Each structure stands twice: as C-alpha cells, then as structure tokens.
Amino acid sequence: MKLTHLLTVMLIILIAVSFVFAQEETQTEEPKTEEAQKEEPKYGWQKSMVGGINLTQTSFDNWAQGGENQVAWQLNLNFKFVNDQEKTNWANSGKFTYGSTQTGDQDARKSIDEIKLESVFTYKVAKYINPFVAATGETQFAPGYNYGEDTRVQISEFMDPAYFRESAGMGYKPNDIFQTRLGIAFKQTITGDYPVPYADDPDTEEIEKTKNEVGAESVTDLNWKIAENTLYTSKLELFSTLSAFNETDVNWDNVVSTKVTEYISVNFNFKLFYDRDISKQRQIKQALAVGLTYTFL
C-alpha cells in the first residue's frame, strides 16, 4: 500500500472510530434527573453534521443585451465529533466541499474542491493551557486543470497532491469562542503524477514526489455567533520551517453563515492561501452562495 493511501486510511479510520464510539456511548447512556444533570458537568460525545447545496441557473433566449447560459452548483458537508471528558478532550472534524460551473458551450469546470480531516487529542492538566497531539489531512476529489484558449492541462487529481501534518505542543482555550495551539510539527506533501510544483525541489535534477518538512505549527479557531442567526467561523493555520519569515505557509479560511429560514441559508467564504513552494504570490478565493441547508446531527 502506498504511503498516501496508508495515511489517508489511518486518518479516516480515526474519525470513523470516534463516530462509532459516540454512537455506542449515546445508546448506553441512562436518563438522569434534571437535578443530577445540573450538578454534573456535561461530559461525553457532542456530535454535529450539517450539509448544504447551492444552485444557480441563468438562461438567455434572443436576449438583446447579450449574455451566456450558466449552470452552477455546490455541495457542502461539515461534521464535528467531540468527546469531552474530565481529563481529556478528543475533537474530530471534517470538511467536504465540491462545486462545478458550466458557462455557454464550455465543458463543466469545477469551482471548488476540498477534503479536509482533523483530529486533536488534548490532555487536561490546567484550566486554560493544556498539551495536545494532532493530525491533519487535506486533498481534493477531482482532477484540476489549467485552461488555455483551446486546450486544458491537468495539474492535479485525488491524493495528488495530498498534505498531512502531525503536531504536538500546548493549546490555549479560554472559552468556547476562541482557541489556539502551538507546537512542533511534521509536514508531508505527497504526489504521484504531478510533483511540480507541490513536492519537487527545483534545486535538484531529480524529480521528488514526496517532500518532508519539520517546523512549528500554529492553529487558531474562532467560532463567533454575531447574531441569533449569524455565525462567523475562522481558522488560521501557520506552518514554518523557521528558515525565513517569507517561507511561512498560511491557510486562512473564513465563513460567515446566516440562516434565513430553517432550511435556507446565505454563506460567504473568504480564503487566503500562501505557500512559497507553490507560488511566490498569495492566493485568494471568495464565494457567496445561497442555498438549502440540512442538519443531520
């Protein structure tokens, strides 16, 4: 089995095990009186899973002002399984997003594509600052292309590239809105048919398909309920080999979600990405979507 598949399977198994344990503990819990519930801390599994679909369609027929037909859609699924105990906290989360757009006579092109899994285990030794170990995996669903005027060139696909990070250090969580962690980290960039520019070292003649880095990682999460029906979530991830300031990898993902009705929501996503190995310029993605949202758990 390839290392890429092994790391992916291990991370998926870790998330799956957390879900199974959550189901088992939920089924075996015995009902408690209201007084007992007030006295005892709320330990155990907390589960959430939210999915959504956004659709946009525009059609023109003999329209004097001009325009092109367009169809766009996007699927989103986010989940979080957290097992909070007196001395430990095990938080598992995942983000799956995929979207496609077709304009005029052009072939459909993907507009967004992301798979991200994260597992963080914290051991409680103090009120706010505690040690942790974490693992993160990130890749995409479908092939990616660079489009020219008449041709397209494939530059990526599923698990090519794939990014994995393992870290250990100290975390700080003063409340349920803000938390951050800092520690030593190991990062692997793994590719197959498309090592450039993701894993290959341009200073060597050999084409490397795997890149291993050791450095420091900082991850900061913000979950702020701006209003009764509006939530702002932000995740800032920094990774540095400590060789130079301008070689710090930055992944800053921001989402503002407003629930219009029980099933209709408006989402604005702003993402800033910088990795000097891929591009010397920062990359920005923003999207505004209106669609259906359903809470599974």
pLDDT in tens, 229-250: 999 999 999 999 988 888 899 9
Average pLDDT over residues 208-216: 95
Please count the other Cβ atoms lying within 10 Å of the Cβ belonging to residue 203.
5
Say whether pTM exceeds 0.95.
no
- Lowest mean pLDDT of 32-36, 138-142, 232-236, 282-286, name the range: 32-36
Domain 3-27+45-59+71-295 falls under CATH 3.10.450: no
Structure tokens at 183: 């520690």
The pLDDT confidence band at residue 113, using thresholds 50, 70 and 90, is very high
Whole-number average pLDDT of the chain: 87
Overall average pLDDT of the 203-212 stretch: 92
Q: C-alpha distances in angstroms, 10 versus 13, 15, 61, 66, 192?
A: 5, 9, 52, 52, 19
CA 244, CA 255: separation in Å to the nearest integer? 30
SS3 assignment, position 165? strand
φ and ψ at residue 15, rounded to 5 degrees: -65, -40
Contacts of 23 (CB under 8 A, 6+ apart): none
Please say if the pLDDT value at position 159 is more than 90.
yes
Share of the chain above pLDDT 90, in %: 63
CA 135/CA 183 separation, integer angstroms: 12
pLDDT of residue 11: 55
At residue 4, the pLDDT reads 46
Q: What's the rounded Cα separation, in Å, for the pair 250 and 282?
A: 9
Compute the average pLDDT of residues 251-279. 92
Higher pLDDT, 238 or 147: 238
Tokens 């507009």 sit at which residue? 111
For residue 157, give the DSSP letter: B
- The domains of the chain are located at 3-27+45-59+71-295
Specify the pLDDT at position 81: 96
